[in-house]
Structure 1
Amino acid sequence: MSEAILHEGEHVETLVLTQQHVAKLVSSGGRDRFMDLMIDRLRKAFVAARESNGTTPPREGFLRCPGETGVIEWMPHHQPGSSMTLKTVAYTPSNPAEFRLPTIIGSLTRYDDVTGRLLAVCDGILPTAIRTGAASAIASSLLALPGGRVLGLIGAGAQAVTQAHALSRVFPLERILVYDIDETHAASYADRVDFLGLEVRIASVAEIEANADIICTVTSVGVGEGPVLTGEHLQSHVHINAIGADLVGKFEVPKALLESAFVAPDHVAQALREGECQQLEPGDLGPDLMALCADPRAAEEFRDRITIFDSTGFALEDHVAFDVLLELAEEAGVGERVRLEHLPEDALNPYSFH
């Protein structure tokens, strides 16, 4: 939904996009259109980021109480004079097995930067999965050799679905090789990506390394339990999207492989703290994804060697994802407006009611 619509004076309600609304937006327009739009808008936002006055600090959060795994975090993006998007997100690896809930649960909120009003609220689970896949598609289109046909997935959870979907929109994929330490996740993966019409085969890590043109590591490996790749059988031109590292001490890629590869982070400060880049020094990093998007030719010289995109996921992506959902909601006339905030008839009297 456009900023003009959200700022109209007669609208004092907050726009709420429920699970049903988001499902309707995706199903009515189609998954491919939704993903294509996300890839396009993210790419444009990354190109414009260098000239923008927007601010995206590294995410912050709380470790869970003793005995629990995962974190609860907040991720803000600020566009001065316009709006601020805030995502709250919880990472709970035990959710699928214990509660039949997604590992990543979150919500998106949009605030008016002039008045501070809450403009819109939306689910953050699907947008997170979609924008993460879209970011990998953008990075891969810059750093991987064109024409890649074999995708390798280390981890077969929810993120693996949108990674494959996004990459299938920018590469002529023919086959997916998938590995997961949970055999049931690997076994069910083909059914979950049946809409892609691609051959899917369960494989070992060694097989994936030896055959994949592009590899995505999308695991919930614990702190100190990585890496999940060996790096011993990789093709000389492979591109790796490293998705899972999001905590200090958690990583999926061996340090030796990182040191020998070209590494592009998404958000430098965040990646150095909790991504794969925490294993490196700042001087070891290549340009970040936004710099590569602004100058795609700078990435071309690295395509014939091993390249790694360190995707920690940052709030500019969530801001853009929310923009996409709001735009689609306006187009389809979807959403519910509620008076969530108490905006009294007399601004100086909190006990006055409309």
Structure 2
Amino acid sequence: MTCFLDVPAMSRLVQDVGVSRLLGELADTIRHDFVRWQDFEKCARLTSQSRTGVHELMPVASDDHYAFKYVNCHPENTTSGLFSVMGMGVLADAKTGYPLLLCELTLATALRTSAMSLVAARALARPGARRMALIGNGAQSDFQAVAFHSLFGIDEISVFDVDPSATDKLMRNLSDYRALKIIRADSISQAVRGADIVTTVTANMAHAHVLTPAMIEPGMHINAVGGDCTGKTELHADVLRGARVFVEFEPQTRMEGEIQQLPDDFAVVDLWRVLAGTEAGRQSAEQLTVFDSVGFALEDYSTLRYFHALAAKRCAGVEVELVPRPDDSKDLFRYTRPADVRPTLYRIG
């Protein structure tokens, strides 16, 4: 049987564990798997561009599990009241190929993206960072703010979005975090002034210059999250040229990340090497560091693995029959005869 976590089941799990605790556990799971980088068979995600967005399939495998996520990015969806990004995924037993988990990955992807930003900032931001700028206040922004306030020690966030209602939503959702000071900025340059960490999570499907060299201050760490497909960027190329840039999976980031603007010989550092202790991260307090975050399949593997274990521990989700249960493994044709098809058994957590 396969565990199925739909949106209500995922929502209950998040509420039961608590957002802050869950983000911390998920960040630890991702970091653990990144340190095991060489244990995985990896490839850049498979993309299909449409007129209004992009569809992506993200597979990864280890000796124990095979996992994939389907995800999209359609920025115009919000004008119709739809999410611009949604996803679903599968975790399978590598030994048999049988699916272990079928899972919603819209809410879960928002959680894992902010957890990944946290992993990178812990490794790259200068010690004692307390002030953060959050540019783009859409669906991902709340998770970023909670992760960095609760688990990194950020106590002041300056926020900006071209859509004032998005900032209204963010400030409303963060109102319970009374120890967090939120400053509503009038511009990007005002928001980033004096920030230790700048996180960009904009959705515009274009080569945008959300951050320009004039906005950059020594020692900043930038999590560039919004630029995650071909033709979509957030940083001026000269910001990258003046920084030490870190990537998840270089072949994919060359096509989809901020560095798609630069020549193929532009030097970058694999983040997994920093996490494993084989490569230096930040080299000085004054150095500008950039995490060119595009989202990589290993992060979804970690997320599926984490929620599979969590669902089993808390008896969450339902069990569904995605694969026939054979009396005779050579007789599949029997399932074409209604009398031989047994009813599906559901176990509700």
TM-score strictly above 0.5: yes
- CA distance 1:170–1:285, change in 2 (3 Å): farther
Name the amino acid aligned to 2:297: A
1:42 maps to 30
Give the secondary-structure state (helix, strand or coil) at the position aligned to 2:123. Answer: helix
Displaced runs of 4+ in structure 1, greater than 4 A?
A: none
2:224 aligned with 1:238:
no
Give the secondary-structure state (helix, strand or coil) at the position aligned to 1:227. Answer: strand
Aligned partner (choices 156, 159, 164) of residue 145 of structure 2: 164
1:19 maps to 7
- CA distance 1:171–1:340, change in 2 (3 Å): closer
Name the amino acid aligned to 1:20: P
1:259 maps to 241
1:79 maps to 62
Aligned partner (choices 285, 310, 319) of residue 292 of structure 2: 310
Aligned partner (choices 39, 42, 47) of residue 61 of structure 1: 47
1:78 to partner: Cα distance: 0.8
2:103 aligned with 1:122:
yes
CA–CA distance in 1 between the matches of 2:57 and 2:205?
21
1:133 to partner: Cα distance: 0.7
Aligned partner (choices 232, 242, 257) of residue 250 of structure 1: 232
2:112 aligned with 1:131:
yes
1:145 to partner: Cα distance: 1.0
Preserved contact between residue 142 and residue 296 of structure 1 (Cα < 8 Å): no
Normalised TM-score (structure 2): 0.91
1:215-243 Cα shifts (integer Å, max 9, x gaps): 0110112223x111123132211100000
1:295 maps to 277
CA–CA distance in 2 between the matches of 1:233 and 1:314?
28
2:20 maps to 32
2:126 aligned with 1:141:
no
Give the secondary-structure state (helix, strand or coil) at the position aligned to 2:333. Answer: coil
Give the secondary-structure state (helix, strand or coil) at the position aligned to 1:75. Answer: strand
Report the identity percentage.
Answer: 32
Unaligned 5+ residue runs, structure 2? 335-339, 343-349
2:318 aligned with 1:336:
yes
Name the amino acid aligned to 1:234: I
Preserved contact between residue 24 and residue 151 of structure 2 (Cα < 8 Å): no
1:118-170 Cα shifts (integer Å, max 9, x gaps): 22101101221111111111111111112211110110011111111222234
1:60-109 Cα shifts (integer Å, max 9, x gaps): 12112x4xx211110001113x22111001111122221x2221101011
2:83 maps to 102
CA–CA distance in 2 between the matches of 1:45 and 1:339?
29
Aligned partner (choices 159, 162, 168) of residue 187 of structure 1: 168
Give the secondary-structure state (helix, strand or coil) at the position aligned to 1:27. Answer: helix
Preserved contact between residue 178 and residue 202 of structure 1 (Cα < 8 Å): yes
Preserved contact between residue 143 and residue 303 of structure 1 (Cα < 8 Å): no
CA–CA distance in 2 between the matches of 1:329 and 1:342?
23
- CA distance 1:216–1:296, change in 2 (3 Å): farther
Question: Which segment drifts farther, 323-332 or 275-284?
Answer: 275-284
CA–CA distance in 2 between the matches of 1:302 and 1:294?
19
- CA distance 1:229–1:213, change in 2 (3 Å): same
* Count of residue correspondences: 334
- CA distance 1:207–1:296, change in 2 (3 Å): farther
CA–CA distance in 2 between the matches of 1:169 and 1:294?
24
CA–CA distance in 2 between the matches of 1:271 and 1:179?
26
Name the amino acid aligned to 2:328: D
Give the secondary-structure state (helix, strand or coil) at the position aligned to 1:142. Answer: helix
1:303 to partner: Cα distance: 4.0
Unaligned 5+ residue runs, structure 1? 1-12
Question: Which segment drifts farther, 38-47 or 113-122?
Answer: 113-122
CA–CA distance in 1 between the matches of 2:65 and 2:279?
33
1:4 maps to none
CA–CA distance in 2 between the matches of 1:312 and 1:302?
25
- CA distance 1:286–1:137, change in 2 (3 Å): same
Instruction: After TM superposition, list the pairs within 5 Å mapping 1:313-328 onto structure 2.
Output: 313-328=295-310
1:23-56 Cα shifts (integer Å, max 9, x gaps): 1111111111101101111111111213x1x112
CA–CA distance in 2 between the matches of 1:214 and 1:125?
25
1:308-332 Cα shifts (integer Å, max 9, x gaps): 0000000100000111111111111
Preserved contact between residue 273 and residue 279 of structure 2 (Cα < 8 Å): no
Aligned partner (choices 138, 154, 172) of residue 135 of structure 2: 154
Preserved contact between residue 282 and residue 289 of structure 2 (Cα < 8 Å): no
Name the amino acid aligned to 1:132: T
Give the secondary-structure state (helix, strand or coil) at the position aligned to 1:122. Answer: strand
CA–CA distance in 2 between the matches of 1:106 and 1:303?
38
